[in-house]
Structure 1
Amino acid sequence: MELINGTYTIQGIDVLKLANQFGTPLYVYDGARIAEQITKLKSAYSAANVKIKYAAKALTNVSILKLMRKNGVGMEAVSLGEVHLALRAGYLPGEITFTPSGVDFSEIEEAVTLGVAINIDNLSTLQKFGARYKDTYPCGLRLNPNIMAGGNIKISTGHSNSKFGISVLQLEEILTLMRTFGIRISGLHIHTGSDIKETEAFLKTAEVLFETAKSFPDLNFLDFGSGFKVAYKDGDIVTDIQELGGKLAKAFNEFCQRYGRNLELWLEPGKFLVSEAGTMLVQVNVVKPTPTVTFAGVNSGLNHLIRPMMYDAYHHIINVSNPSGTQQRYTVVGYICETDTFGSDRDLNEVREGDILAFKNAGAYGFSMASNYNSRVRPAEVLLINGEAKLIREREKFEDLLKGQVVIDL
């Protein structure tokens, strides 16, 4: 988002006009920015045979998935719902990887029927898979490297107490199941968490993966997950993608030489591709001064953007209606009947009732984690593409809250 001649714009489109045209709250996604992030990642890993698999849970709108495929990005799904959304977006089954956590085995069976690639994350499922399919359908393994990494314990997934993956300390049990059933392991997957800033944390994980891979002679890929840190505010330290890509690609190529065969290097970015491309627009309902704080209450809440309350995540807030106003301090809160704070003690240009505020970095885990809590409808979504604003999801209506409900006579 840029301030040009006193007007905030995204890709040259007036933000206030978007709010007027589509209403608020509103999610706006910059398609050009998504494409830029894809290009940046491909460039950083260009020395290796890299395959990018978009972690769809970050933002699952079918139009976004179509945009990813148009830009040469595969898809990583964690649910059958995401698999079917990817198929609806035009993905071929072989372009989709299904990496669920703790699901019923019937979901694995359906994924096999659909023909998608599967990563298995526990020994129980691996045993059932082997007994059912033996060597007729290859699978990958999600491993737990016993490494603590990530910006928040809630998004750290590779430590020893995490529910995700099969511990690398259980390698012998994996190999026993392989030999017993003739299971074909096509790849190994590790994802240690999100918001990882240090290049060395990724390289340390890679060494665990390389060491483990020596025990699997028929691999086609190694999947390093993602977790790249993006900037939420000025001065944030982010993952140096170019440095990491160069070092990891070099280490990967050296491993492939030792392994005796060239493999594919897979990445699963979600937030990195869509976070900075997303902006959420809200309207100020009330400005409420108290003896200790001035609240700016908006027409949204944790039902639409839960990250500040769930992860203590920071989202930069801009008053796009009053770019030249005198700065004052506000706590921006939502309309949900809970403690529902978007940002505390923020210096914003004077906020007036009816003003439009913009929350930045709202592309990842915004709408995809939205709910109907307090019986509130979910927002519309708009994609800016080729200089135009395209509605890609209608705003819900009250009738949508009743879908699926069965009203009985009492």
Structure 2
Amino acid sequence: MELINGQYCVQNVPLLEMAEKYGSPLFIYDANKIESQYHKMVNAFDVPKLKINYACKALTNINILKIMKELGAGIDAVSIEEIKLSLHAGFDPNDIVFTPNSVGAAEIEDAIRLGVRINIDNIELLEYFGHHYPDLKICIRINPHVMAGGNSKISVGHIDSKFGISIHQMPLVVRIVENLKINVEGIHMHTGSDILDVDVFLYATDILFNQARLFNDLDYIDFGSGFKVKYKNEDIETDIEEFGRLMSIKFNKFCKEVGKDLTLAFEPGKYLVSESGYFLAKTNIIKQTTSTVFAGINSGFNHMIRPMFYGAHHEIINISNPEGVPKLYTVVGYICETDTFGYNRKINTITPNDILVFKNAGAYCFMMASNYNSRLLPAEVLIKDNKDYLIRQRQDFTSLLQDQIEVNLPVAVEADQAE
């Protein structure tokens, strides 16, 4: 987003015009930014074989999935519905890796029938595959017991995490694999999101390399993701170029050691789409209390829960008043709960009907939205090469009723009338 002739634009498209054309609240995604992030990541590594599997739980709009396919990415899916969406977008089943957690056998069976790759994250499921599908190639998700990530809710590689098979259980894993003759094609880990320290990530990769030596027929090693993006202008992010340089050296050395060119795989989600997204909302009221000036908007955590759920920071800009005097505002939503997007933010003077933009709204924003308080879901717009496209229509009132079934319940009868 940049200021062009006094207007905030994505590419050359003025955001205020988008709010007027499509209404608000509104999610907007910059396709060119997604493409540049993908190429930035791919170019950071110098290995014979590299595979980027988009963690589609970040944003599954079918048009975003199609962009990923055109770029050459695969898919990291965590539900049968994500698998079906990816297949609908044109992905080959072999380019989809299903990494379920705490799902039932029926969902696993559905994924097998659809022909996608399966990533196993518990001993019981591993044994299930050994007994029922010994010839099916699988991947094993390992918990490296490394605490990493920007928030306890997105740190998933620590010892008490529900994700993955503990490295301390690997002797048991090897025994099961050998006795049941399971075909292990890959191993995988994911330590968390918003990892800033490259050294922590590289430390975890050494752990995974040690586990990889236990399997002779590997095709790939998946190191997950968790790369941090900028949330503030002065913020710092994962140095993907430096990480790519160091990781490539380590990975090429390991491949030389085992005598085979394995595929180096990652599964970024937020890294690819977060910075592409902008959330537009209109100011309803300005409310002064004894110590706080509230800017109340026509949205809430029903549309963007990350600030309330994760304590996530999203830069907030008043695009209706780009030259205004900055003042301190606490930006809140219209949900009948405490839904605060930002405390005491310095924002150009806000008045009712101004349009505020929340940056970094491409990942885990629309995807975590709901109809709480019976509020409607926003529209989504994609901007590609200076042209805007509506990619999800705004819900209307019929959306709230379409899946409900009204039944004719018996009328209650008073006791004296019944007699």
Aligned pairs for 1:155-174 (under 5 A) are 155-174=154-173
Cα deviation digits, residues 203-255 of structure 1 (max 9, x gap): 11110010001110000000000000100002212100000001011101101
For 1:60 and 1:199, how far apart are their aligned partners in 2? 28
Checking the alignment, whether the CA contact within 8 Å between 2:308 and 2:339 is kept in structure 1 is yes
Aligned pairs for 1:245-256 (under 5 A) are 245-256=244-255
Aligned pairs for 1:129-278 (under 5 A) are 129-134=129-134, 136-278=135-277
Q: Which amino acid aligns with 2:17?
A: K
Q: 2:385 matched to which residue of 1? A: 386
Q: Which amino acid aligns with 1:165?
A: G
Q: 1:6 matched to which residue of 2? A: 6
For 2:402 and 2:175, how far apart are their aligned partners in 1? 48
1:176 deviates by 1.6
For 1:317 and 1:386, how far apart are their aligned partners in 2? 25
Q: Which amino acid aligns with 2:61?
A: N
TM-score by length of 1: 0.99
Report the identity percentage: 51
Q: 2:41 matched to which residue of 1? A: 41
Q: 2:59 matched to which residue of 1? A: 59
1:382 is paired with a residue whose SS is: strand
Checking the alignment, whether the CA contact within 8 Å between 1:47 and 1:246 is kept in structure 2 is no
Q: 2:107 matched to which residue of 1? A: 107
1:404 deviates by 2.1
1:87 deviates by 0.5
Q: Does 1:352 align with 2:342?
A: no
Checking the alignment, whether the CA contact within 8 Å between 2:47 and 2:264 is kept in structure 1 is no
Checking the alignment, whether the CA contact within 8 Å between 2:57 and 2:77 is kept in structure 1 is yes
1:98 deviates by 0.5
Checking the alignment, whether the CA contact within 8 Å between 2:11 and 2:385 is kept in structure 1 is no
Cα deviation digits, residues 294-351 of structure 1 (max 9, x gap): 1000001101100000000000000000011111111000000100001110111110
2:304 is paired with a residue whose SS is: coil
1:406 deviates by 1.8
Q: Which amino acid aligns with 1:245?
A: G
Checking the alignment, whether the CA contact within 8 Å between 2:26 and 2:378 is kept in structure 1 is yes
For 1:177 and 1:316, how far apart are their aligned partners in 2? 50
For 1:44 and 1:266, how far apart are their aligned partners in 2? 13
2:275 is paired with a residue whose SS is: coil
Q: 2:279 matched to which residue of 1? A: 280
For 1:396 and 1:125, how far apart are their aligned partners in 2? 39
Q: Which amino acid aligns with 1:105?
A: A
Q: Does 1:79 align with 2:79?
A: yes
1:386 deviates by 2.2
Q: 1:405 matched to which residue of 2? A: 404
1:392 deviates by 0.5
For 2:90 and 2:166, how far apart are their aligned partners in 1? 35
Q: Which amino acid aligns with 2:159?
A: S
For 2:27 and 2:236, how far apart are their aligned partners in 1? 26
For 1:18 and 1:90, how far apart are their aligned partners in 2? 29
For 1:188 and 1:109, how far apart are their aligned partners in 2? 21
CA RMSD of aligned residues (A): 0.8
Q: Which amino acid aligns with 1:260?
A: G
Checking the alignment, whether the CA contact within 8 Å between 1:48 and 1:252 is kept in structure 2 is no
For 2:88 and 2:58, how far apart are their aligned partners in 1? 17
For 1:405 and 1:197, how far apart are their aligned partners in 2? 45
For 1:74 and 1:32, how far apart are their aligned partners in 2? 19
Q: Which amino acid aligns with 1:65?
A: L
For 2:66 and 2:118, how far apart are their aligned partners in 1? 21
For 1:307 and 1:223, how far apart are their aligned partners in 2? 27
Count of residue pairs the alignment pairs up = 409
1:275 is paired with a residue whose SS is: helix
TM-score by length of 2: 0.97
1:48 deviates by 4.5
Q: Which amino acid aligns with 2:394?
A: R
Checking the alignment, whether the CA contact within 8 Å between 2:48 and 2:261 is kept in structure 1 is no
Cα deviation digits, residues 150-196 of structure 1 (max 9, x gap): 11110000000000000111011111211222110000000000000
Aligned pairs for 1:18-33 (under 5 A) are 18-33=18-33
Checking the alignment, whether the CA contact within 8 Å between 1:198 and 1:239 is kept in structure 2 is yes
Q: Which runs of 5+ in 2 are unaligned?
A: 410-419
Higher-Rg member (1/2): 2
2:314 is paired with a residue whose SS is: coil
Checking the alignment, whether the CA contact within 8 Å between 1:48 and 1:249 is kept in structure 2 is no
Q: Which amino acid aligns with 1:152?
A: N
For 1:406 and 1:139, how far apart are their aligned partners in 2? 42
1:384 is paired with a residue whose SS is: strand
Q: Which amino acid aligns with 1:21?
A: K
1:330 is paired with a residue whose SS is: strand
Q: Which amino acid aligns with 1:42?
A: V
For 2:40 and 2:372, how far apart are their aligned partners in 1? 37
Checking the alignment, whether the CA contact within 8 Å between 2:101 and 2:163 is kept in structure 1 is yes
Q: Does 1:298 align with 2:301?
A: no
Q: Which amino acid aligns with 2:155?
A: S
For 1:44 and 1:304, how far apart are their aligned partners in 2? 34
For 1:355 and 1:35, how far apart are their aligned partners in 2? 31
For 1:389 and 1:146, how far apart are their aligned partners in 2? 45
1:260 deviates by 1.5
Checking the alignment, whether the CA contact within 8 Å between 1:57 and 1:82 is kept in structure 2 is yes
